[in-house]
């Protein structure tokens, strides 16, 4: 240690002129304060920004110069004997030089930037959007990285050794491994694991270069080529170890399953549940079949109206395997889908079974999947195309018409696609069926006047449209009969299969009433501390799956789910701290005969139960 | 690592080979230097002397063979060994911006046995100012400072790699006198590579000569000088030269001149003139022509 410090002191003394240069540059920018222009505040801002930029350039340039002369110059000019002829170890020589270079870098950085650091808090925020401390840490970190990288590259280049070719190959390979670790994580929006990988790789580079210097000197001493060889061995061993470790970590992160999730939330998608939560450092999404527990990782899901088929839309062409691609559109089915994607259709029965993949290009406006997954209806730029997903052949195409709002597609028969096409300007809806065999359109209903320019949901023959304070339900079998229901932010209404409505109203306490034809049949109370209640589904025997919310100090969101018998008002099968996934995110819902299973999510343990809507049985899924 | 070597040996080199690509600079060289001896390694430029010295000082690892200094492996034990070894390298390699006193302070902090008084005394004898920058000194002064630095920690072994390179006659004389004085003070082992044969002839106990990476001569100086003779015959073709081994044969007026490498004073040679040779003449005879006398 003494020798290390002795060498460091000697090196600093030899390069003391750096401090003089730093002081000279530090004095340049404040001189701007004396210039006769603008207000003093403006001049100060200019001086601070100019000073910081100058200081940054100086520090990065100094890092480059120090790095290239750290040991490499003495080595190539055969001046290393000055140290090696004395009783100092190679590691003392290296770390002494490194300590000196680091001290020169840090001290000169603070000298050059003394002015902006002392006065420029506001300008720092303006320039970098990070705090002064963070900006200093980043700048010095980059400078150290440049210095060490410069040492490595200068050692390699000065040796004129053919090993340089192998270094280049190793560099490409290492970049390939790191890219292979990072890009899937970026696509999965796993930013924390990705940033951890970047940090580990940067740390490995620093360790490799810093440790490599000692290693090369200890084994190569004055032999320039041997120094190169030993440095390469050390650097690439460390870098590849880190890169392969991070590649494995990346694969481990992406191999996340629903069992790994905590703080789970879910959205019902027909018979499937889109589940997401925190797991392995990010927020993965899964499509889960609550009936079987089968799951598929994915991003944007489009479920078939019935059956166990889901479609996962994944980016292409680099990541065709949708199981490692996570992407989630923010708005609606098909809306906002960029061009060039792979539609992956997966059957979620007992285990995930990929049925087909289909490349999509252009702006996809709507997607529909047949119940068995054999056909996909895609609307791109107003053109509907029906694909056979197995052969990827287009079976038929037709223009949908002017599409001014999000349209919806659903297969009503294997050869028939129903298109719900709203006209935003006229506030009307056209419902038309397209037959794949005849390639003909058949008008089902419309134009139907809508209370809002958007069609909210389609449930079998029922169309739901909603506005801020009311909802409209229209039966396609009798389109002229429109049922209008008042709903607002504090109420929730559920249309039951037998025509009754379950209306809940939030408040303290929240209450719940069953109505038929606008007349209250039963009032259900949940207790004084329950603030809201909503229905998630209806079991075939008429019982409702309801989730209540109460304020709690212990739990941030204290939910309890019950099976409520609307005939008697009895709340059965209470499930504490369990919330039912809903398919109806706003304050209106409807029993869908095609939905046979409902996901219940235990938010605490990240576990999921499923309720069989045919029998009312609750089963643990994961 | 301690290698097996005689306690009376200061340097032991076993089968050292150094290659640079396809070129073999040092070819299976072995030699031993006794403690307290002055050992001179001679050779023409590019003979491999400096490579051998670098291996000796643990600065370069030979492809084959091993080097032990003072009973310890030169490569693995270099750091501790250098506390007992003084080095005067071929080129004065101290940083030019360092002042002489700073060099002394720097060295003092590295050696546990640093004799500042001895350093100052030598510096005074060389008339070198302590405040002078190393880069501002003349070549001779640089060498003198280097010698003073190399001797100030009272080394058991002093290695001088071509110390007189580029020095004028006065500086050379001064350097050798300093070395000799040091030798007189305390029987330090000295290993010296040099072209200055006249200087080394006065101090060396044993001499080795290196040709194309190989040691071709390695024996006591007196022994070499005893067996090498210049023998001149009046006749163009001497009738009988007995079992004389010759390094060179050339015309001498009407007669013949031979460089004899196994001269025996007891044997009778019918020659016109038999004269002894200087080390320089022997060196030229040995190394001057490819395949000279060994």
Task: Note which residues in 13-32 of chain B have CB less than 8 A from chain A.
Answer: none
Percent of all residues in chain A with a pLDDT value above 90, rounded to a whole number: 35
CB-CB neighbors (< 8 A) of B93 in chain A: 78-79, 81-82, 85
Closest to A480 (Cα-Cα) out of A463, A455, A498, A502: A463
Is the pLDDT confidence value at A328 over 50?
no
Query: pTM of this prediction?
Result: 0.79
Is the pLDDT confidence value at B128 over 50?
yes
Average pLDDT over residues B99-124: 92
Average pLDDT over residues A392-399: 92
A160 φψ region: left (φ > 0), alpha (ψ -120 to 50), beta (else): left
Nearest chain B residue to A15, by CA? B97
Q: What is the 3-state secondary structure (H, E, C) of A258-308?
A: HHHCEEEEEEEECCEEEEEEEECCECCEEEECCCCCCEEECCEEEECCCCC
Chain A closest-CA separation from residue B112 CA (Å): 10
Contact B87 A79 (CB under 8 A): no
Chain B closest-CA separation from residue A216 CA (Å): 12
In this complex, is the C-beta atom of B98 within 8 Å of any C-beta atom belonging to chain A? yes
In this complex, is the C-beta atom of A221 within 8 Å of any C-beta atom belonging to chain B? yes
Contact B82 A223 (CB under 8 A): no
In this complex, is the C-beta atom of A163 within 8 Å of any C-beta atom belonging to chain B? no
pLDDT tens sequence across A367-391 = 788 877 788 888 888 889 999 988 9
pLDDT tens sequence across A489-501 = 788 889 898 888 8
- Report pLDDT for A320: 29
Structure tokens at A538: 């209806």
CB-CB neighbors (< 8 A) of A84 in chain B: 57-59, 78
Chain B closest-CA separation from residue A14 CA (Å): 7
Chain B closest-CA separation from residue A2 CA (Å): 8
Task: Note which residues in 296-335 of chain A have CB less than 8 A from chain B.
Answer: none
pLDDT tens sequence across B10-31 = 999 999 999 988 899 999 999 9
CB-CB neighbors (< 8 A) of B102 in chain A: 10, 13
Contact A88 B106 (CB under 8 A): no
Nearest chain B residue to A89, by CA? B79
In this complex, is the C-beta atom of A82 within 8 Å of any C-beta atom belonging to chain B? yes
What lies within 8 Å, CB to CB, of A361 at 6+ separation is A339, A340, A341, A380
Give me the phi and psi of B106, to 5 degrees please.
-60, -45
State how far the alpha carbon of A240 is from the alpha carbons of A157, A207, A236, A271, in Å.
21, 12, 6, 45
- Report pLDDT for A331: 30
The model's confidence at residue B4, banded by pLDDT at 50, 70 and 90, is low
Q: What is the residue-averaged pLDDT of chain B? A: 86
How far apart CA B92 and CA A101 sit, in angstroms, is 25
CB–CB of A409/A332 below 8 Å?
no
CB-CB neighbors (< 8 A) of B81 in chain A: 87
Is the pLDDT confidence value at A228 over 60?
yes
Is the pLDDT confidence value at B136 over 80?
yes
In this complex, is the C-beta atom of B99 within 8 Å of any C-beta atom belonging to chain A? no
How far apart CA A593 and CA B252 sit, in angstroms, is 127
Contact B93 A81 (CB under 8 A): yes
CB–CB of B82/A86 below 8 Å?
yes
**Three-state DSSP state, A2:** helix
CB-CB neighbors (< 8 A) of B80 in chain A: 87
More confident residue, A396 or A285: A396
Helix axes A132-159, A191-220, angle to 10 degrees: 40
In terms of Cβ atoms closer than 10 Å to its own Cβ (0-12, 13-18, 19+), residue A498 is exposed
How far apart CA A291 and CA B253 sit, in angstroms, is 119
CB-CB neighbors (< 8 A) of B111 in chain A: 86-87
What lies within 8 Å, CB to CB, of A575 at 6+ separation is A560, A561, A562, A600, A609, A618
Tokens 């050379």 sit at which residue?
Answer: B172
How far apart CA B202 and CA B192 sit, in angstroms, is 13
Chain A closest-CA separation from residue B1 CA (Å): 16
- Report pLDDT for A308: 54
pLDDT tens sequence across B192-225 = 998 888 888 888 899 999 999 999 999 999 999 9
Contact B107 A82 (CB under 8 A): no
Is the pLDDT confidence value at B293 over 60?
no
What lies within 8 Å, CB to CB, of A38 at 6+ separation is A46
- Report pLDDT for A330: 29
CB-CB neighbors (< 8 A) of A226 in chain B: 61
Average pLDDT over residues B34-43: 92
CB–CB of A467/A452 below 8 Å?
yes
Structure tokens at A35: 């210039």
- Report pLDDT for A181: 95
In terms of Cβ atoms closer than 10 Å to its own Cβ (0-12, 13-18, 19+), residue A540 is middle
pLDDT tens sequence across A153-164 = 999 999 999 999
Q: Enter the ipTM.
A: 0.87
By Cβ distance, the residue of A10, A85, A219 closest to B106 is A10
Q: What is the DSSP string of A167-188?
A: HHHHHHHHHHHHHHHHHHHHHT
- Report pLDDT for B5: 58
Report whether the peptide linkage leading into residue B73 is cis, meaning its omega lies within 30 degrees of zero.
no
- Which of A20, A84, A88 would best serve as a mutation to test chain B binding (most B beta carbons within 10 A)? A84
Q: What is the residue-averaged pLDDT of chain A? A: 83
Contact B89 A222 (CB under 8 A): no
CB-CB neighbors (< 8 A) of A89 in chain B: 79
Tokens 């938010």 sit at which residue?
Answer: A603
Contact A2 B109 (CB under 8 A): yes
Nearest chain B residue to A225, by CA? B20
Nearest chain A residue to B19, by CA? A223
CB–CB of A26/A55 below 8 Å?
yes
Helix axes B116-126, B169-185, angle to 10 degrees: 150
Nearest chain A residue to B146, by CA? A82
- Report pLDDT for B252: 79
In this complex, is the C-beta atom of A84 within 8 Å of any C-beta atom belonging to chain B? yes
Q: Which helix (H) or strand (E) holds A480?
A: strand A478-486
More confident residue, A287 or A303: A287
Contact B59 A221 (CB under 8 A): yes
Is the pLDDT confidence value at B291 over 60?
no
CB-CB neighbors (< 8 A) of A88 in chain B: 79, 82, 110
Closest to B93 (Cα-Cα) out of A378, A86, A366: A86
Is the pLDDT confidence value at A202 over 70?
yes
Q: What is the DSSP string of B216-264?
A: EEEEEHHHHHHH-EEEEESSSS-S--TT--EEEEEEETTEEEEEESS--
Q: Which helix (H) or strand (E) holds A492?
A: strand A491-495
Buried b (16+ CB within 10 A) or exposed e, A382-406: eebebbebeeeeebbebebeebebb
pLDDT tens sequence across A297-320 = 765 555 554 445 555 554 433 232
How many CA atoms within 13 Å lie on the side-chain side of B258?
A: 23
- Report pLDDT for A423: 83
In this complex, is the C-beta atom of A87 within 8 Å of any C-beta atom belonging to chain B? yes
State how far the alpha carbon of A545 is from the alpha carbons of A187, A530, B149, B285, in Å.
36, 16, 93, 112
H helix count then E strand count, chain A: 12, 33
CB-CB neighbors (< 8 A) of A221 in chain B: 58-61
Q: What is the DSSP string of B190-205?
A: EEEEES-HHHHHTT-S
Contact A14 B95 (CB under 8 A): yes
- Report pLDDT for A326: 27
Contact A81 B89 (CB under 8 A): yes
The model's confidence at residue A55, banded by pLDDT at 50, 70 and 90, is confident
Query: Cα A415 to chain center, whole Å?
Result: 37
**Three-state DSSP state, A69:** helix
How far apart CA A505 and CA A616 sit, in angstroms, is 25
Structure tokens at A15: 């390069």
Nearest chain B residue to A13, by CA? B98
By Cβ distance, the residue of B57, B60, B106 closest to A6 is B106
CB atoms within 10 A of CB A141: 12
The model's confidence at residue A538, banded by pLDDT at 50, 70 and 90, is very high
Sign of the dihedral defined by the CA atoms of residues A131, A135, A138, A140, in that order: negative
Contact B79 A88 (CB under 8 A): yes
A431, β-bridge pairs = A420, A445
In this complex, is the C-beta atom of A226 within 8 Å of any C-beta atom belonging to chain B? yes
The model's confidence at residue A325, banded by pLDDT at 50, 70 and 90, is very low
pLDDT tens sequence across B145-169 = 998 999 999 999 999 998 887 778 8
CB-CB neighbors (< 8 A) of B109 in chain A: 2-3, 6
- Report pLDDT for B187: 79
DSSP B292: -
How far apart CA B107 and CA B121 sit, in angstroms, is 16
The model's confidence at residue A465, banded by pLDDT at 50, 70 and 90, is confident
In this complex, is the C-beta atom of B60 within 8 Å of any C-beta atom belonging to chain A? yes
Chain B closest-CA separation from residue A107 CA (Å): 22
How far apart CA A24 and CA A2 sit, in angstroms, is 33
How far apart CA B48 and CA B282 sit, in angstroms, is 19
What lies within 8 Å, CB to CB, of A366 at 6+ separation is A333, A334, A377, A378, A379, A406, A407, A408, A409, A419
Contact B61 A226 (CB under 8 A): yes
Chain A closest-CA separation from residue B24 CA (Å): 15
């Amino acid at each position: 240690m003494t020798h290390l410090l002795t060498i460091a002191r000697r090196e600093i003394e030899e390069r003391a002129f750096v401090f003089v240069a730093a002081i000279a540059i530090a004095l340049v920018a404040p001189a701007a304060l004396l210039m006769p222009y603008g207000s003093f505040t403006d001049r100060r801002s200019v001086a601070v920004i100019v000073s910081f930029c100058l200081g940054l350039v100086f520090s990065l340039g100094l890092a480059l110069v120090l790095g290239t002369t750290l040991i490499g110059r003495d080595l190539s000019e055969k001046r290393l004997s000055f140290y090696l002829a004395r009783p100092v170890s190679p590691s003392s020589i290296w770390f002494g030089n490194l300590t000196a270079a680091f001290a020169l870098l840090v001290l000169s950085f603070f000298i050059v930037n003394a002015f902006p650091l002392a006065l420029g808090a506001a300008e720092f925020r303006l320039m970098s959007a990070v705090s002064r401390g963070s900006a200093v840490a980043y700048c010095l970190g980059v400078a150290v990285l440049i210095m060490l990288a410069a040492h490595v590259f200068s050692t390699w280049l000065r040796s004129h050794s053919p090993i340089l070719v192998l270094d280049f190959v190793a560099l490409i390979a290492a970049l390939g491994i790191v890219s292979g670790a990072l890009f899937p994580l970026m696509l999965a929006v796993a930013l924390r694991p990705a940033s951890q990988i970047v940090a580990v790789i940067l740390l490995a580079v620093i360790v490799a270069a810093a440790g490599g210097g000692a290693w090369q000197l200890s084994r190569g001493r004055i032999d320039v080529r041997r120094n190169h060889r030993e440095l390469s061995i050390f650097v690439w061993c460390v870098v590849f170890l880190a890169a392969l470790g991070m590649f494995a970590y990346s694969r481990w992160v992406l191999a996340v399953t629903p069992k790994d999730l905590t703080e789970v939330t879910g959205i019902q998608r027909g018979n499937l549940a889109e589940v997401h939560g925190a797991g392995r450092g990010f927020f993965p999404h899964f499509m889960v079949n609550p009936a079987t527990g089968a799951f598929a990782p994915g991003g944007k899901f489009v479920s078939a109206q019935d059956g166990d088929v889901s479609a996962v839309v994944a980016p292409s062409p680099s990541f065709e395997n949708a199981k490692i691609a996570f992407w989630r559109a923010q708005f609606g089915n098909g809306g906002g889908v960029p061009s060039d994607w792979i539609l992956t259709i997966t059957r979620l029965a007992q285990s995930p079974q990929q049925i087909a993949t289909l490349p999509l290009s252009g702006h996809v406006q709507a997607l529909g999947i047949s119940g068995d997954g054999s056909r996909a209806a895609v609307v791109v730029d107003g053109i509907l195309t029906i694909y056979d997903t197995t052969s990827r052949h287009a079976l038929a195409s037709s223009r949908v018409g002017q599409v001014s709002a999000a349209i919806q597609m659903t297969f009503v028969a294997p050869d028939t696609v129903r298109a719900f096409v709203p006209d935003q300007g006229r506030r009307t809806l056209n419902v038309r069926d397209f037959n794949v065999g005849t390639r003909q359109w058949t008008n089902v209903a419309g134009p139907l006047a809508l209370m809002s320019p958007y069609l909210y949901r389609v449930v079998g023959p029922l169309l739901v449209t909603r506005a801020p304070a009311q909802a409209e339900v229209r039966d396609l079998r009798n389109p002229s009969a429109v049922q209008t229901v008042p709903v607002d932010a504090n109420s929730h209404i559920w249309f039951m299969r037998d025509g009754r409505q379950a209306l809940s109203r939030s408040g303290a306490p929240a209450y719940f009433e069953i109505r038929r034809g606008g007349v209250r049949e039963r009032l259900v109370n949940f207790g004084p501390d329950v603030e809201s209640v909503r229905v998630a589904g209806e079991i075939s025997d008429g019982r409702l799956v309801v989730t209540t919310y109460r304020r709690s100090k212990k739990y941030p969101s204290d939910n309890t789910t019950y099976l409520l018998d609307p005939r008697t008002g009895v709340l059965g099968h209470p499930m504490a701290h369990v919330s039912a996934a809903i398919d109806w995110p706003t304050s209106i819902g409807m029993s869908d005969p095609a939905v046979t299973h409902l996901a219940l999510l235990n938010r605490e343990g990240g576990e999921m139960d499923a309720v069989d809507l045919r029998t009312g049985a609750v089963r643990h899924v994961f | 690592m301690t290698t097996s070597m005689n306690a009376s040996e200061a340097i032991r080199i076993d089968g050292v080979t150094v290659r640079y690509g396809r070129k073999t600079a040092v070819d299976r060289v072995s030699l031993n230097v006794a403690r307290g001896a002055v050992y001179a390694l001679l050779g023409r430029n590019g003979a491999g002397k400096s490579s051998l010295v670098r291996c000796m000082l643990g600065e370069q690892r030979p492809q084959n063979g091993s080097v032990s200094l003072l009973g310890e492996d030169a490569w693995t034990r270099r750091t501790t060994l250098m506390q007992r070894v003084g080095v005067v390298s071929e080129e004065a390699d101290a940083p030019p911006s360092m002042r002489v006193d700073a060099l002394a302070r720097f060295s003092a902090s590295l050696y546990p046995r640093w004799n500042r008084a001895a350093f100052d005394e030598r510096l005074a004898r060389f008339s070198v100012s302590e405040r002078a920058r190393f880069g501002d000194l003349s070549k001779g002064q640089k060498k003198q400072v280097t010698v003073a630095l190399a001797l100030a920690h009272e080394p058991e072994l002093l290695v001088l790699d071509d110390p007189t390179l580029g020095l004028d006659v006065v500086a050379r004389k001064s350097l050798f006198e300093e070395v000799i004085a040091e030798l007189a003070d305390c029987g330090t082992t000295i290993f010296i590579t040099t072209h200055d044969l006249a200087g080394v002839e006065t101090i060396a106990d044993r001499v080795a000569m290196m040709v194309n990476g190989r040691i071709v001569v390695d024996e006591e100086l007196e022994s070499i000088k005893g067996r090498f003779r210049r023998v001149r015959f009046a006749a163009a073709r001497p009738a009988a030269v007995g079992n004389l081994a010759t390094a060179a044969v050339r015309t001498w007026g009407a007669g013949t001149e031979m460089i004899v490498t196994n001269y025996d004073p007891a044997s009778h040679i019918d020659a016109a003139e038999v004269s002894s040779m200087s080390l320089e003449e022997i060196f030229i005879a040995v190394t001057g022509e490819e395949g000279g006398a060994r």
